[in-house]
Structure 1
Amino acid sequence: MTSKPPLPVRPIPTAQPFFPWHHFTMRCGSTPRGARLARRLAGERLDTWGIPYGSDTHDVLTLIVAELSTNAVRHGRVPGRDFRLRLSAESATLRVEVTDSRGESIPALTEPSDDLDGGRGLLLVAALTDRWGCYPCVDGLGKTVWAALDVGLSQALIH
């Protein structure tokens, strides 16, 4: 009687998950409705990539998309121009980028006033992500605000 060889077992990484390279880009109208649409479609895309609804990673990334999209609508709006949302996942890093049409309004972390309802979005982004920043568009017309999240093994599915 011959014995069957063992089936090959795929090794599980111990430190970081591996995301095959994913990329998603869309343009949205610079309106509150466009910001909501960006958040909803980003949530669907993340779920498709294996970051399920209700997971901490999914909730953090959709919050980041919502904050950056809302900022693009409130502070980066130029009438008649859209903003662009870009999501990417590579290796163990997930990145959100929002590009608007107003390059002169550079975001900065400031202490919010107790009298105001807003002004805390970038503080949330800075607290929830590993890195964030801003750079001007190549054509000089606008800026991109980005945030990156390094995802640990316990926070994502392994593909």
Structure 2
Amino acid sequence: MIVGGLVAAARFPARPDAVPRIRRGTVARLRGWHVDPAAVEIAEQVVAELASNAVKASGPGGESVAVRLTAGEGRVLVEVWDRSELTSPRVARPGEEDESGRGLWLVEALCEDWSWYRARSGGLVVCAQLVGAIVPPPRGPDETPVPLARRVAPTRPAYPEPVYPVRFSTDPEVLARVAERLRALDDWDFDGAADVPVAVERVG
């Protein structure tokens, strides 16, 4: 899981005609972040499959689905939420004549990893992570970098020594588990719907 980075999320109606809007919004947002174009193409396919599955899982009475994009650390994370209470998603192995059932199989083939978790507010979130670095556009010949203002650390009194020793963990597996648990606390409660996922955006 990506810790920090650029994040955008939006809610869409749980209808088949929302899937093209989700695809367009995903492409627009990732391009706006200057994500590697090859990764944008893969993310477009992945979000289309996950969104299509979410709409189907929502059923005729489903109210909405939500999409969240995260970019950072050379990766792109695509998460799609629906309010269904289905059992754990599994990759199907359809036959050559089958016309459906290839969604998660395609996601698995295109991505580094995929998983799922249940949101605190209910429903299911399916997430997929793929390689996708942010590539800043090259500066033009007339563009010169603007020097940043220098900051001086304020003078503070010395902090007291902690009562207990402080230990920091840099174990990637531990950090990934912590990030996954923090994501599970999300309520996925986004108001409104938009063609471009911009309901929530943060850096850090």
TM-score range, shorter chain: 0.7 to 0.9
Q: Which SS does the other structure have where 1:149 is aligned? A: strand
2:189 equivalent in structure 1: none
Report the CA distance shift for 1:80/1:103 in structure 2 as closer, same or farther (over 3 A): closer
List alignment gaps of at least 5 residues for structure 1. Answer: 1-19
State the structure with more CA Rg.
2
Structure 1 position 120 matched with structure 2 position 102: yes
Give me the TM-score of the superposition, normalised by structure 2.
0.61
Matched, 1:99 2:77: no
Report the CA distance between 1:78 and its aligned residue.
6.1
User: Cα distance 1:40–1:157, how it changes in 2: closer, same or farther (>3 A)?
Assistant: same
Q: Bigger relative contact order, structure 1 or 2, given CA contacts below 8 A and separation 6+?
A: 2
Measure the CA separation in 2 of the matches of 1:50 and 1:36.
21
Percent of pairs with identical residues: 28
TM-score, structure 1 length as denominator? 0.77
Higher strand share: 1
Q: Cα distance, 1:113 vs. partner?
A: 2.8
Q: Is the 8 A contact 1:87 1:94 kept in 2?
A: yes
- 1:148 match: 129
Separation (CA, whole Å) in 1 of partners of 2:60 and 2:10 = 18
Aligned residues: 134
* Whole-angstrom CA distance in 2 between matches of 1:46 and 1:73: 22
Find runs of 4+ consecutive structure 1 residues off by over 3 angstroms.
none
In structure 2, stretches of 5+ residues that fail to align are 138-204
CA separation in 1, counterparts of 2:90 and 2:116?
Answer: 9
Contact 1:75 1:105 in 2 (8 A): no
Once superposed, what is the RMSD of the aligned Cα atoms? 1.9
Residues 57-77 of structure 1: per-residue CA shift (max 9 Å, x gap): 111001011000000011233
**2:59 pairs with 1:59:** no
Q: What is the SS of the residue equivalent to 2:17?
A: helix
